[in-house]
């Protein structure tokens, strides 16, 4: 008899990835395929045909199931980019392209939302899925019964053949109450009559089993249970296996993103801070404009790796840098005119690099202090993802400034996090 396995799917900006794990969370098989670039245009247009996602999804599932000789998929969950939204008919047929997470054309709609939404609502702003919904409603003039769905919602519907359900992480930027998952009454002022908002459930809630057509197209047995998913960033945190109050996750990518698990939600729109439901806890996050993009203005990856070997993490440079790629910062300082501070530049490139790394680490430490001031717990351990997690000298610098243990996360791929949700039937607590 075949052993059960659990599948996670991540539909990102550049590709679709699927991972299968066993009961011990060991990876059994992986598959991925690239996605074409979204269509871009003036005035903040970034959109994509959802049928591209379905084609990529079925392709990676066929490849994945072809590798699972001794294992049988028991459950599946998926994540997608937060705030990517489309409108579809009840049978799932898209009415047009999806507006991607970084589509920012919905400025007039954001102004309309700002007149009715609470100041702490994550649905405010042109990048929110609610602003995108209002824009699509105005442009497409949908018939009554049209459904608004996020990227993860729609691809999961493609697997079951049933559409109209979302999870509370994706629905945060659509206006759902983060505490209850209910749709608040202030949405009634936005004339959404012809559009049906999805039913909101917890990540990992059962949506049904794969349809017969899906089974034939993907190789998934028709007994495979399809579970509600989450956003890509939340799935990536699940992948790190962070749990419990004070567990913190820093992503050292192009930008610096901080998240910490806390017992109560925290919202501070002025700093771009909001909270996702995370099992029985909350995932509180903020993002600085600083990060790896600044380093690449001065050095390539090979140069950074070479110079890092000569750094002295135990001997601070004294260079008081605030590295930014351009003027402006929102977190942990809210100042749209804040100037980057990366001078004076010493003649020694190694010392200059160390000063930049110390500056980003100081911003990280200030970020966790800011979150604590706003109501989050202090970090007791920091797990690290992103390219910077591989730099041991930077880790020592950060550990000195943060004053808590710092380690690279063993796993940080969103697909792996979605597979864990499939294994546990939700976000582990």
Does residue 199 surpass a pLDDT of 90? yes
Question: Considering the chain, what is the average pLDDT of its residues?
Answer: 95
What's the mean pLDDT in 211-215? 97
Q: Is the residue at 429 inside a domain?
A: no
| 249 located within any domain | yes
The per-residue pLDDT for range 223-266, each reduced to its tens digit, is: 999 999 999 999 999 999 998 999 999 999 889 999 999 999 99
- Is 96 among the domain residues? yes
The rounded distance, in Å, linking the Cα atoms of 370 and 195 is 39
Considering the domain architecture, whether residues 186 and 252 belong to the same structural domain is answered as: no
> Is residue 367 over pLDDT 90?
yes
- 10 Å Cβ neighbour count for 122? 25
Q: What is the pLDDT of residues 141-151, one digit of tens each?
A: 999 999 999 99
* Residue 202, both tokens: 């917890």
Q: What residues make up the domain containing 41?
A: 3-234+415-424
Residue 239 domain-assigned? no
* Cα 153 off chain centre by: 15
Q: Same structural domain for residues 11 and 125?
A: yes
Query: Has residue 342 been placed in a domain?
Result: yes
307 and 226 together in one domain: no
Strands 256-262 and 247-252: antiparallel
Using a 10 angstrom Cβ sphere, with 0-12 exposed, 13-18 middle and 19 or more buried, the burial of residue 59 is middle
Mark whether 47 and 177 lie in a shared domain. yes
Domain check: are 125 and 253 in the same one? no
In which residue are the tokens 């939340």 written? Answer: 234
Distance CA 371, CA 62 (A): 43
- Examine the domain organization and report whether 212 and 73 are in the same domain: yes
What tokens appear for 272 in the block? 């771009």
344 assigned to some structural domain: yes
Whole-number Å distance between alpha carbons of 263 and 280: 8
pLDDT digits (tens, 9 = 90+) for 284-321: 999 999 999 999 999 999 999 999 999 999 999 999 99
211 and 281 together in one domain: no
- The answer to whether the beta carbons of residues 217 and 223 sit under 8 Å apart is no
Q: 83 and 194 share a domain?
A: yes
Specify the pLDDT at position 194.
94
Residues 263, 400, single domain; the answer is yes
Which residues on adjacent β-strands are paired with residue 407?
Answer: 383
Nearest to 9 by CA among 59, 72, 66: 59
Rounded Cα gap, residues 380 and 392, in angstroms = 20
Same domain for 250 and 228: no
Number of domains composing the chain: 2
Instruction: Report CA 165 to chain centroid distance, whole Å.
Output: 19
What is the pLDDT confidence band of residue 197, given thresholds at 50, 70 and 90? Answer: very high
Per-residue model confidence as pLDDT tens digits over 32-90: 999 999 999 988 999 999 999 999 999 999 999 999 989 999 999 999 999 999 999 99
Give residue-wise pLDDT tens across range 341-352. 999 999 999 999
Nearest in space to 113 (alpha carbons), one of 100, 101, 103, 128:
128
For the domain that residue 252 is a member of, what is the CATH number?
A: 3.30.420.40
Q: Are 248 and 237 in contact (CB under 8 A)?
A: no
Cα four-point dihedral sign 181, 270, 150, 60:
negative
Residues 144 and 268 reside in one and the same domain: no
| Cut 0.85: pTM above it | yes
Q: How many whole angstroms separate alpha carbon 178 and alpha carbon 282?
A: 10
Tokens describing residue 21? 């794990």
272 vs 286: CA distance, rounded Å = 6
Residue-level pLDDT at 13? 83
- Split at pLDDT 50, 70, 90, the class of 326 is very high
User: Is 290 within 8 Å of 335 (Cβ atoms)?
Assistant: no
pLDDT score for 85 = 98
3-state secondary structure of 15: strand
Contact between 261 and 246 under an 8 Å Cβ cutoff? The reply is yes
How far apart are the C-alpha atoms of 270 and 405, rounded to whole Å?
30
Judging by beta carbons within 10 Å of its beta carbon (0-12, 13-18, 19+), is residue 404 exposed, middle or buried?
middle
* Calpha distance 271→330 (Å, rounded): 5
Residues 123 and 255 in one domain: no
């Amino acid at each position: 008899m075949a052993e059960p396995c659990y599948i996670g799917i991540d539909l990102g900006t550049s590709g679709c990835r699927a991972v299968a794990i066993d009961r011990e969370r060991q990876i059994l098989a992986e598959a991925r395929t690239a996605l074409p670039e979204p269509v871009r245009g003036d005035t903040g247009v970034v959109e994509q045909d959802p049928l591209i996602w379905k084609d990529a999804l079925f392709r990676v599932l066929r490849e994945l199931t072809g590798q699972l000789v001794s294992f049988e998929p028991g459950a599946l969950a998926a994540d997608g980019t937060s705030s990517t939204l489309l409108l579809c008919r009840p049978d799932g047929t898209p009415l047009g392209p999806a507006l991607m997470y970084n589509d920012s054309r919905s400025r007039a709609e954001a102004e309309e939302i700002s007149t009715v939404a609470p100041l702490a609502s994550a649905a405010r702003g042109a990048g929110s899925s609610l602003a995108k919904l209002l824009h699509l409603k105005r442009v497409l003039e949908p018939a009554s019964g049209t459904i608004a769905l996020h990227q993860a919602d729609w691809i999961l519907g493609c697997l079951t053949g049933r559409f109209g359900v979302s999870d509370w992480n994706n629905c945060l930027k659509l206006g759902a109450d983060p505490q209850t998952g209910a749709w608040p009454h202030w949405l009634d002022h936005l004339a959404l009559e012809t559009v049906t908002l999805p039913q909101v459930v917890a990540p990992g809630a059962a949506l049904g089993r794969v349809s017969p057509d899906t089974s034939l197209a993907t190789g998934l047995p028709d007994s495979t249970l399809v579970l509600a998913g989450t956003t890509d960033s939340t799935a990536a945190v699940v992948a790190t296996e962070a749990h419990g109050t004070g567990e913190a996750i820093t992503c050292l990518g192009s930008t610096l993103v901080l998240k910490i698990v806390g017992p109560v939600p925290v919202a501070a729109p002025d700093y771009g801070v909001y909270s996702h439901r995370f099992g029985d806890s909350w995932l509180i996050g903020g993002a600085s404009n600083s990060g790896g993009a600044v380093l690449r203005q001065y050095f390539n990856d090979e140069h950074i790796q070479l110079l890092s070997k000569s750094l002295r993490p135990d001997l601070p440079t004294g260079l008081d840098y605030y590295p930014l790629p351009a003027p402006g910062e929102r977190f942990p300082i809210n100042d749209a005119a804040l100037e980057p501070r990366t001078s004076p530049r010493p003649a020694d490139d190694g010392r200059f690099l160390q000063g930049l790394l110390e500056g980003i680490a100081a911003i990280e430490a200030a970020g966790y202090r800011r979150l604590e001031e706003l109501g989050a717990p202090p970090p007791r351990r920091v797990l690290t993802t992103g390219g910077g997690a591989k730099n041991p000298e930077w880790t020592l610098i950060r550990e000195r400034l943060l004053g808590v243990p710092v380690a690279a996360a063993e796993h940080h791929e969103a697909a792996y996090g979605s597979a864990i949700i499939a294994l546990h039937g939700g976000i582990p607590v």
